[in-house]
Structure formats: C-alpha cells, structure tokens
Structure 1
Amino acid sequence: MKKSEVYLPSNDGKNQLHTVIWEPDTEYPRAILQIVHGMCEYVDRYDDFANYLTQNGFAVIGNDHLGHGKSVKRNDDLGFFASNDGDKIVIEDLHNVMLFAKDKWLGVPLFMLGHSMGSFFTRVFLTKYSVELDGAVIMGTGFIPDSAAKIGMMLSSLICKTKGERYKSKLLESLTLGSNNKAFAPNRTPDDWLSRDEKVVDKYVNDKLCGFTFTAKAYNDFFKIIHSIAINKNCEGISKELPVLITSGEVDPVGGKKACEKLLFKYESAKITDTSIRLYSNDRHEILNELDKEEVYKDIADWLISKI
C-alpha cells in the first residue's frame, strides 16, 4: 500500500484542501472509494479502513473539509466553512476531489462513502453528480424534518448577526449533539455515543482536531444542507439506477434503524431501484471504529465489489 497526500484548491478561491490518497500495490485499482468524513473530525481517521480496502485492490481518496483537519490554516478557521455559500462550496470541493481521482485513475469505477455530516453532504452531492458515480454508501445518517432545519437556520443566523459568524455557540452544539450521549448513561466521557470501543473514544477525546465546537456560520451552512435534502421530497437529480447502500449502527443516536428505514423508503418511493440497508446490532455512531469493524469492512468491500 502506498499512502500520499496532496493539496487541492477549494472552491472558496482561497484555501487548499488537504487530501489523502491510499493506493493498492496492484498496478491499477479495481475501483476507487471517495470518503466524505463527518463533523469535527478528519479523513486520516479512516486510515485503518482505507488500508483494508487497498489490500482488496481499491484506491481510496478523501479530503479534509474546510474548517477541518489539515485544511485549517489558523485555529480561528477550525469549524468554519466560508463567509458566503459555505453549504455550496463544501459540495463543490467534493466534486473537485472526484474529478482529480477520475483523472488519476482513468476509467476506474468510483464510489462515494459519506459518514455522519458527510452523509448529508453525500446526499446533496447525489442530487447534482450521481451520474458521475458508480454507487454510494450512506453511513450514520439522520432523517431530519424540515421544521427542525428551519429552526436551526433561523437560530444560527440570529447568532451570526448578534455574536459574529465565527462565534462558537454552546447552545447550537447542545441542540445538535446534546442528546446523543443520553442513551448510554452512565457516561464515561461526553463522546460514549461514538463507539463501544473505549480506546477509540479516548483517542477522539484527546485529539485537538476532533470534537471542537462548530462556528455559528458552519452550523447555518449545515442546516441549509439539511433543509435542501428535506424539501427535495422526490429525490430530484439522483439517478434511478444508482446503487445505494444505507448503513448504520442500530443504536446510533444520529442514524440508527428508524432513520435508515425512513431514508430507504424515501429512495424506494422515488423509484431509485438498487437500494439496500445494513444495520449492526449494538453498534453506535462510528461503525468503522466499532468492536465489530472487521465485519463492517468486509460487508462494505463485498458490496462495492458486487457493484463494479
């Protein structure tokens, strides 16, 4: 396996996106998986999963979103997308990375995997660029009503006006993430909801590039993304033939069984014909970092291979 990194231009016209590439030892990959990471983390956290895929002949690529990981120039930028159109820029950034991958590995099938916040990014991406993909894995996603998205948009907009767009609002954080740990009381850490694996949780808690507080403007951008998904009742723009795997831990407070089943029903109602669901009993939010991660890795690899 060969691992490398490049910096690709962001659509904000100012920043560079830290992008990691994992390549198999084979001369040419059987397929490419583009990873879209979640909120308050970074793509190198997917290293173990990417290594597994390279051993099975895949190339893997993924960028740190604006405001995340090594795409951050200054501490002030942590948890911040952009002053204007951040919700659009982060999606176009994914397209830039995809085009880079397609140019690097000409003619190789390309899939996208989005986790958590990245799953919402992926769901918007599919409405614009699904014809350029060979399939998508939607992991740890939620099914959030438009009423909640609108409240989030209004509240975050008000905070931006009164406190500033880079203000770190504990209120917004509490409304968005505050209840995630309740089901796992008594809590050992504030992030027990991520995984049953205590080593994973401790590493996350002690990582300065994880678990930080989002800015009010980034929350506003994220709520706009959720709003755009909620109002697209018929999944306009998504190819009817696109293979989609929806997957989650059954006790994931973000996704979970109910959210995944609702999304599956929405896609099936929109006549997206190749949809499937895979849930993992007792798993929490980060199924790629769970105690049964080897099973998860194999299931995803098998699904990808079946769609090549």
Structure 2
Amino acid sequence: MADTREHVLPGTRSTITARDWPYERPRYVALVAHGYGEHVGRYAGLAAVLVAHGAAVLGPDHQGHGESGGERVLIGDFEDVVTDLHSVADLARATYPGVPLVLIGHSMGGLIASRFAQRHGDELAALVLSGPVIGDWELPGRLLALDEIPDIPINPAALSRDPEVGATYAADPLVWHGPMKRPTLEAFARTLTTVADAGDIGRLPLLWLHGGDDRLVPLPGSRAGVERLSGGELTEHVYPGARHEVFHETNRAEVFTDLIRFLDGVLSGGTRST
C-alpha cells in the first residue's frame, strides 16, 4: 500500500484525525466517509484501488470514532459531522487545487455524505453511496422505543461472506464493540428526516452500491431514500447474496470494477453505466 499521512484538524466538538493516501498529480480526489463504530483505516483496500486509478484519497475518523477525539460513538448532531467532513474537503482542495472531488460514503457515512451533497453539492463531481443509512431505516425507532438500549454489538458475520473480514473487524481495537448510545440514535432519526425533507441533489451523478443480503441496512429502505435523493443521474448496482460491506465482499473485484467504470464516465463527461 502506498504511504499514508495523518492530519489532525480542529473539529466542531473535538479534534479530527484524517488519513491521506497521497498521489502527486491526481486525476481526482476521493473523500471517504466511513460507517458507524469503525474508522477510515478500514478502507485501505478501497484507497489502494483508487490510488491505482490515479486518485488521491482522504478521509476522517468521524467524531467519537477511531483516532479522533470525543466520547466513543457519541454523535449529538450529524450536521457537525458534515461540517468536520467539509474541513477535510477544504484540506483536499488546498493540497490538490483544481482537481475534481468525489465523495464516497458507506453506511452511516452514506447518511453523512448524502447530507454533505445537499449542503455542498456544487463542490462535488460525483457522489457514491455504499449500503447507505438513508430512507426508511427502522433500527433507530425500534431501539429508541426501549427503556434501555441493549448491549448487542454488530455481528461481524453480517459484514461480508469473507470470514476474514469479520475476524479482523472483531479484533480491531479502533472499532467500537459496545452498545449504541441514545443521543446517537436520536441524531440518526433526526438526520434521516432532514435528508428526506431537504430535497434531491439535482444533476450530481450518483452511484448506489448495495448488497442484496444486507441485513444491517436492508435494501428496500435504502432504495426509498436513494430515489428521493437522486435528481435523475442515478447508477445502481445491487449484488445478489452480498452483505453490508460490498467493498470487503467476496465479489469486491466486481464492485471495484463497477466503481471505476462509473468514475471514468464522470471524469470523461461521458455516459455512465446503469
């Protein structure tokens, strides 16, 4: 893997650590927003593919996640997380001026990326959502209805059909393995409503990737949100049998091929695959 750099930035509520996979003269910059309870270091494989495609890749550990500051997995307001992500986008533009910016968000990062696109879509060349928490995601409502949030961590087997992915996730000290926190669930619920009500992203090219057997973020609920978000430039790929983390799935080579084909279409200004 190419050398990486770390940057520590002032965030809205705590310091934010961002990782940078540099490229001297990139075709584009890919900004990565990771999912709940994890960290951007888990996207080294994706970064390697993008760097080989001529991209520089940057992404933060969101507040309360990975090496960034804050109480673990506590997010009071996702608008703050979007603002933090925008600070990393500013760093990317300062480091690589005049280069197109592509935003890639997975799971919770898909919610963050969707809201970023609503707030700052004019700064993006494309938006990529992988298993996004968007639309009719029922988990926050179910848990918030309980008097006490159960201490049931994410099942590593739900991430990928590749058992090594689950084993590595379970052993990762930077991954949160405890219960979800009520303020974070409340923030999820509010932001799902905000994104649904804030309108579409116009003609911004949107790629949606989803596992057909995703039980953490079920496909039908995401579809409702993605279709509301898209302004018409939607490319989608649903992978039968794949679980939540398509970038870590057994068919990841197929996923990366679809991603690169989409990005080539965006960067050339040509027609994207459907």
Which bracket does the TM-score occupy, shorter chain normalised?
A: 0.7 to 0.9
Q: Structure 2 counterpart of 1:23, which letter?
A: P
- Please say if 1:22 is aligned against 2:16: no
- Structure 2 residue 3 is the aligned partner of structure 1 residue 2: yes
1-structure distance, mates of 2:132, 2:262: 18
Following superposition, the deviation at residue 231 of structure 1 comes to 3.2
1:274 has 2:274 as partner = no
Which structure shows the bigger proportion of residues in helix conformation? Answer: 1
**Hey, what's the Cα distance between the residues in 2 that align with 1:155 and 1:89?**
25
1:49 to 2:49 alignment: no
Match of 1:62 among 59, 62, 82: 59
Question: Which piece of structure 1 moves more, 49-58 or 218-227?
Answer: 218-227
Do the aligned residues in 1 keep the contact of 2:32 with 2:104 (CA within 8 Å)?
Answer: yes
Query: Residues 145 and 248 (structure 1 numbering): CA distance in 2 closer, same or farther, change over 3 Å?
Result: closer
Aligned to 2:98: 107
Q: In structure 2, how many angstroms separate the alpha carbons of the residues matched to 1:194 and 1:150? A: 19
| Gap regions ≥5 residues in structure 1 | 160-168, 179-189
* Residues 248 and 154 (structure 1), Cα distance of their counterparts in 2 relative to 1, 3 Å cut: closer
Q: Does 1:98 align with 2:89?
A: yes
| 1:214 and 2:180 aligned | yes
Q: Secondary structure at the match of 2:215?
A: coil
Distance 1:90 1:121, change over 3 A: same
Deviation at 1:16, TM superposition (A): 1.3
Q: For 1:280 and 1:149, how far apart are their aligned partners in 2?
A: 23
d(CA) in 1 for partners of 2:117 and 2:143? 22
Partners of 1:201 and 1:227 in 2: how far apart? Answer: 31
In structure 2, distance between residues paired with 1:220 and 1:152? 11
Note if contact 2:158-2:216 (Cα within 8 Å) is conserved in structure 1.
no
SS of aligned partner of 1:124: helix
Q: Using the alignment, how far apart are the partners of 1:93 and 1:61 within structure 2?
A: 13
Q: Secondary structure at the match of 1:103?
A: helix
SS at match of 2:4: strand
Matched, 1:288 2:247: yes
Gap change, CA 1:110 and 1:143, over 3 Å in 2: closer
Q: Structure 1 residues 64-73 or 41-50, which shifts more? A: 64-73
Distance 1:215 1:40 in 2: 11
Contact 1:4 1:20 (C-alpha < 8 Å) held by counterparts: yes
* Deviation by residue 1:1-38 (Cα, 9 ceiling, x = unmatched): 331111111022xx2111000023xx310001100000
Aligned to 2:72: 78
Which residue pairs with 2:205 in the alignment? 243
Structure 1 residue 291 displacement after superposition: 0.8
Partner of 2:121: 130
C-alpha separation in 1, matches of 2:21 and 2:225: 30
Offset from partner CA, 1:110-137 (integer Å, 9 cap, x none): 0101100110111111111111111100
Equivalent residues, number: 265
Q: Which runs of 5+ in 2 are unaligned?
A: 268-274
Q: Distance in 1 between matches of 2:164 and 2:250?
A: 10
Deviations 1:188-237 (CA, angstroms, capped at 9, x unpaired): xx3211100001101111223223323222222222211212334x43xx
CA radius of gyration, larger in: 1
Query: Quick one: structure 1 residues 251 and 258, their matched pair in 2 at CA, closer, same or farther if it must change by over 3 Å?
Result: same
CA deviations over 1:23-76 (Å, ceiling 9, x no partner)? 23xx31000110000001000000011012111111100000011000136xxx
> Would the alpha carbon gap of residues 127 and 153 (structure 1) be closer, same or farther in structure 2, given more than 3 Å must change?
farther
Paired residues of 1:150 and 1:227 also in contact (CA < 8 A): no
